[in-house]
Amino acid sequence: MASTLTETLQTGYGFPGPAITLGAALDRGTILPEPKIRIPLAMMNRHGLVAGATGTGKTKTLQLLTEPLSAAGVPVFVADIKGDLSGLAIPGEPSDRVTQRATDIRWTWTPAGVPVEFVSLSGKLGVQLRATIASFGPLLLAKVLGLNDTQTSVLTLVFKYCDDQRLPLLDLADLRAVLQFLTSPEGKRELDALGGMSPASVGVLLRKMVELEMQGAEQFFGEPEFDVHDLLVTTREGKGVVTCLELSDVQEEVAPVI
């Protein structure tokens, strides 16, 4: 005899140990409150994809994943593109729809917020997030500047020179100063051993850097530098702190591409 859906779910989700509960299964319009659909806590370091059209609940799903992880003592990092996830910091408001949903899946729902720390690229909506030019690296910086292969190789050469000379590259001003020095007679002689670079390529780099500065990038590059260990924080109560990267202010400053 073919197993029922409930038996199949029990086989797949009836495992012991700590887990994140997502909800209940739906069988042709009928809610199956048990067993709950769960993900083992030990599996939450894997890759996953939440896909769907607008209004299908992608943001709610992210909230549903974030809240129990925090409660389990796991620090979480989320990137909030449109400001939809900032509500994690305050308890949700009860409603007839939420109460009915909790009743249908036999879930005791209690409104509660999670500990959230907001960080921001601009510093307007949270703690200012910064990185040095050196840690950003030539390849990633080349992508941001929109450089071609030749220009990228020149930028990589500059980074190599700074590494060899132990010159700190903290912000765009440092990079500009190095580029200007390397186009001087003395700088050209020092760079000959690494292959040299054309003044035209340097001119392109400088213009691209000006464009980036006009977009406010000088606020991001510099010190104190962001430390990834700052994300691994728990509260005294043992809850994982949710670090929320607010990007809605950056989205507002970028003109749409037509």
| Residue 197 or residue 66, greater confidence | 66
Q: What is the pTM of this model?
A: 0.77
pLDDT of residue 202: 87
pLDDT of residue 81: 78
pLDDT of residue 2: 42
Tell me, what amino acid is at 125? L
| Residue 81 or residue 207, greater confidence | 207
Q: Is the pLDDT of residue 1 over 60?
A: no
**Nearest CA-CA partner of 22 in 61, 57, 70, 79:** 61
Helix or strand run (H / E) with residue 20: strand 19-27
Cα 89 from chain centroid?
18
pLDDT in tens, 20-42: 988 888 888 888 888 898 999 99
Q: For residues 99-137, b (16+ Cβ closer than 10 Å) or e, as one string?
A: eeeeeebeeeeeeeebbbeebbbbeebbeebbbbbbebe
Q: What percent of the chain has pLDDT over 70?
A: 95
pLDDT of residue 255: 45
pLDDT of residue 252: 54
pLDDT of residue 148: 92
